[in-house]
Amino acid sequence: MNRLALPMIRLDNLTLGYDRHPAVHHLSAEIPAGALVAVVGPNGAGKSTLLKGLAGELHPIGGRIVLPELPAGGLAYMPQRGEIDHSFPVSVFDVVAMGLWHEIGAFGGLSREQRGRVRAALAAVGMAGFEARPIGSLSGGQLQRARFARLMLQDAPLILLDEPFAAIDSRTVDDLVELILGWHDEGRTILTVVHDLEQVRRHFPTALLLSREPVAFGPTAEVLTPERLARARRLSEAFDEHAHECHIEELTVAVAPDVGTHPHTHDDGHGHTEGHGHAPVHPAAHAHPAPRPRRGLPRH
């Protein structure tokens, strides 16, 4: 299972946001392979934004994200509210089988063994016997279980879960947490947005406390202290329509060389040069051949 040994996420002074307003502001962190990280913080703290950035759905407006080279389908991202169309006439089996996309692609058929794995995944989330049910007949908790079964089949070394426990009853949450802990034991790297701090303290060894600014990152007990939580609450102020340009000094970030030989970089995509204070300096991208930005160098 050397697929599972790979990930290690490096965030270099990362700023993500919408319309130049940062939602995640100057975040630098190194997430080791195999970590189980709870991303916590008040509403509007940038938790979902961070996951979107990691999943490649949002380009950084400053800094960058360095991921190791993952195999195809090596990153599984479960958004908070999928764009799932519940009225679509597909069965639970079909939905879970979608998790095998990286094996069967657009045209491949399901082998007997793969069908068995789909059924096993459904059984593992406590939904054996639901194979033929239309997806629209499931309750919220059952649908979430089915999404977890699909995720299980994706067999990804890096898993991003955005509020997987929102509006789910406690028994289902317990079952889902068990699954996540199982994936952790298998060595997968997992980032989960969680709101219930008790749950975080009980199950998650590492926590990242965000409030647009990074507040703390490390062992959960050291992160979730009353002082730090209070600071996170203070920081979570409204999006200021007329915010001034940010002029935090750019750090010249040294590059950790052992990230993998050909890391992917979600390069800062657009427009950060026009007056946005923290146009990142990328000495590393010029000097070292190792971290190869995917889409060209920053424009100046």
Partner 1 sequence: MFDLLISPFTEFAFMRRALAGCLALALGATPVGVFLLLRRMSLMGDAMSHAILPGAALGYLAFGLSLGAMTVGGIVAGLVVVFAAGLVTRASVLKEDASLAAFYLLSLAAGVMIVSLRGQNLDLLHVLFGSVLGLDDASLLLIASIASVTLASLALLFRPLVMECFDPAFLRGVSRWSPVAHYGFLMLVVVNLVSGFHALGTLMAVGIMILPSAAARLWAKGLPMLLLLAVLFAFGSGASGLLLSFHADVPAGPAIVLVCGVVYFVSLLAAPGGLLAGRLPVRHHLES
Interface residues toward partner 1, by CB under 8 A: 55, 57, 73, 75-77, 79, 82-85, 88-91, 94-95, 98, 101-102, 105-107, 134-135, 150, 154
Smallest gap, in angstroms, from Cβ of residue 3 to partner 1? 15
Residue (76 or 122) nearer to partner 1, CB: 76
Q: How far apart are CA 29 and CA 118, in angstroms?
A: 36
Closest distance between partner 1 and the C-beta of residue 173, in Å? 22
Q: Name which of 102 and 228 has its Cβ closer to partner 1.
A: 102
CB of 263 to partner 1, least distance (A): 20
Cβ within 8 Å of residue 14, ≥6 positions away:
24, 26, 27, 28, 53, 60, 62, 63, 64, 65
Q: How far is the CB of 178 from partner 1 (least distance, A)?
A: 23
State which residue, 6 or 135, has the beta carbon closest to partner 1: 135
Q: Which two three-digit tokens encode residue 164? A: 């997987």
Whole-number Å distance between alpha carbons of 49 and 59: 10
* SS3 letters across 117-139: HHHHHHHHCCCCCCCCCEHHHCC
Q: Please, are residues 216 and 228 in contact by the beta-carbon 8 Å criterion?
A: yes
With beta carbons less than 8 A apart as the criterion, state whether 211 and 230 touch: no
Length of the chain: 300
Question: Given the complex with partner 1, which of 27 and 95 has the nearer CB atom?
Answer: 95
Dihedral over alpha carbons 76, 80, 83, 85 (to 10 degrees): 100
* Helices 140-154 and 170-185, packing angle to 10 deg: 10
Q: Which is nearer to partner 1, 84 or 120 (CB)?
A: 84
Q: Which residues touch 245 (CB under 8 Å, ≥6 apart)?
A: 275, 276, 277
In the block, tokens 């600071």 appear at: 231
Task: Return the number of the residue (90 or 297) whose C-beta is nearest partner 1.
Answer: 90
How near is the Cβ of 33 to partner 1 at its closest, in Å?
Answer: 21
Residue closer to partner 1 (CB basis): 64 or 150: 150
CB of 54 to partner 1, least distance (A): 12
How far apart are CB 157 and partner 1 at their closest, in Å? 14
